[in-house]
């Protein structure tokens, strides 16, 4: 965004006013034609019309509203019988990476619900890096999960990976997950939007916030009923954790934009020992919920076993985060 200064007006006064608003500015030129400042992208978000009214400002250019429908929600999203987002109780979304057996998902749903979780996650269709890895139990897993969630009073969160399975997944899911790898699959976003379902939109592993928000806008423009943004870590140079959890951006989405946001420490770190501390951090900074993976048999799980929290630990964490209230 570029802000030009009125002819004859002292540019440094405008610069100071912009800085007072939390904006990072760079001087572009100062000549007879006047002065201009570039507002850096990492500045606090601000309405261009507000800047136009500042004393000494001539005009504001290149201000693209990142989103119209997904923006300024400041409202929770309804997913089945539960709400998630601003004003709703802190949401815990928990469950296995992929659903492996009917008994296990029923048992887990009961245990999590008893402690105050309101959302059951589990993959039926899995995006796997290798084509030789387990790809998910598909339709059968969706039915197991739906029944387990219904018995326990939980809402279902599960991923939709392809345009071909949109209607099937929408029938079983209360909140349709769009995975990191598909965040910019626009054909898929349009099809999912068309179902009118709310979506848990995971951040692409190398996506900017603008790209992420505009992916949410695709869903809304095409009929979606709400978007919950899920930060799951971005690619980094360091291998201490699987990805780099970007809590700065979570704070931005929650506090500067009023979007519904949940944090996924399982995929962000790949480490069960870091799930509880990062869930606490997410709650402390104002996120509206967390999503983590839990499984009773790390070695036997069909995907992401090593990062799963064991069910006893998951139960205590859910209790701690929700106060045991559903």
What residues line the site for Mn ion (CB under 5 A)? 97, 304
Please, which residue, 246 or 304, has the CB nearer to Mn ion? 304
* Contact (CB, 8 A) for 309 and 317: yes
Q: Which residues contact 180 (CB under 8 A, 6 or more apart)?
A: 127, 202, 203, 204, 205, 232, 267
Q: Apex CA 221: angle with CA 217 and CA 225, to 5°? A: 85
How many residues contact ligand PEP, by CB under 6 A?
9
* Interface map 220-239 toward ligand PEP (x if CB under 6 A): ------------x-------
Q: Is 97 among the residues that bind ligand PEP (CB under 6 A)?
A: yes
Phi and psi dihedrals of 150, rounded to 5? -65, -45
CB of 123 to ligand PEP, least distance (A): 5
User: Counting contacts by CB under 6 A, is residue 56 touching ligand PEP?
Assistant: no
The reply to whether 71 sits near ligand PEP by the rule CB under 6 A is: no
Contacted entry of Mn ion, ligand PEP, none for residue 242, CB cut-off 5 to 8 Å set by kind: none
Compare residues 179 and 265 and give the one whose CB is closer to ligand PEP. Answer: 179
Does 305 participate in binding ligand PEP (rule CB under 6 A)? no
DSSP 256: I
DSSP secondary structure, 15-50, as one string: HHHHHHTT--EEEEEEETTEEEEEEPTTSPP--HHH
202 binding ligand PEP? (CB under 6 A): yes
Q: Which of 76, 80, 179, 311 binds ligand PEP (CB under 6 A)?
A: 179
- Which of 69, 162 has the CB closer to ligand PEP? 162
- CB-based contacts of 258: which residues, under 8 Å, 6+ apart? 72, 73, 74, 86
* Residue ranges in 266-295 that form contacts with ligand PEP under rule CB under 6 A: 267
Q: Which does residue 179 touch among ligand PEP, Mn ion, none (CB within 5 to 8 A, set by kind)? A: ligand PEP
Beta-carbon contacts of 304 under 8 Å, excluding residues fewer than 6 positions away, are: 97, 98, 266, 267, 293
Of Mn ion, ligand PEP, none, which one does residue 104 interact with (CB within 5 to 8 Å by kind)? none
Backbone φ, ψ for residue 274 (5° rounding): -100, -5
Distance in Å, CB of 146 to ligand PEP, minimum: 18
Binding site for ligand PEP (CB under 6 A): 97, 123, 127, 179-181, 202, 232, 267
């Amino acid at each position: 965004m570029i802000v030009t200064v009125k002819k004859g007006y002292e540019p440094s006064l405008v610069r100071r006013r912009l800085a007072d608003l939390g904006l990072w500015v760079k001087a572009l030129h100062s000549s007879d034609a006047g002065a201009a400042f570039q507002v850096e992208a990492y500045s606090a978000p601000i309405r261009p019309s507000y800047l136009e009214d500042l004393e000494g400002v001539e005009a504001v250019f290149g201000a693209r509203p990142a989103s119209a429908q997904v923006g300024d929600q400041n409202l929770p999203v309804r997913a089945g019988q539960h709400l998630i987002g601003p004003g709703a109780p802190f949401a815990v979304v928990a469950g296995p990476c992929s659903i492996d057996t009917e008994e296990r998902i029923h048992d887990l749903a009961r245990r999590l619900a008893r402690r105050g979780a309101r959302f059951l996650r589990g993959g039926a269709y899995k995006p796997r890096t290798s084509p030789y890895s387990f790809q998910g139990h598909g339709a059968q897993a969706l039915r197991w999960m739906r029944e387990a969630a219904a018995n326990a009073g939980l809402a279902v969160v599960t991923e939709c990976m392809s345009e071909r399975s949109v209607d099937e997944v929408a029938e079983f899911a209360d909140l349709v997950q769009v995975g990191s790898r598909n965040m910019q699959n626009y054909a898929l976003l349009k099809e999912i939007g068309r179902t009118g379902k709310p979506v848990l939109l995971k951040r692409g592993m190398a996506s900017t916030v603008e790209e992420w928000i505009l992916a949410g806008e695709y869903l809304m423009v095409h009929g979606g009923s709400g978007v919950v943004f899920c930060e799951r870590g971005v690619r980094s140079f360091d291998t201490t954790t699987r990805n780099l959890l970007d809590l700065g951006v979570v704070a931005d989405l929650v506090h500067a934009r009023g979007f519904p946001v949940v944090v996924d420490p399982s995929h962000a770190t790949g480490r069960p020992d870091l799930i509880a501390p990062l869930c606490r951090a997410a709650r402390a900074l104002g996120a509206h919920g967390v999503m983590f993976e839990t499984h009773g048999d790390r070695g036997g799980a069909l995907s992401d076993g090593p990062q799963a929290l064991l069910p006893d630990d998951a139960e205590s964490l859910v209790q701690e985060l929700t106060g045991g209230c559903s």
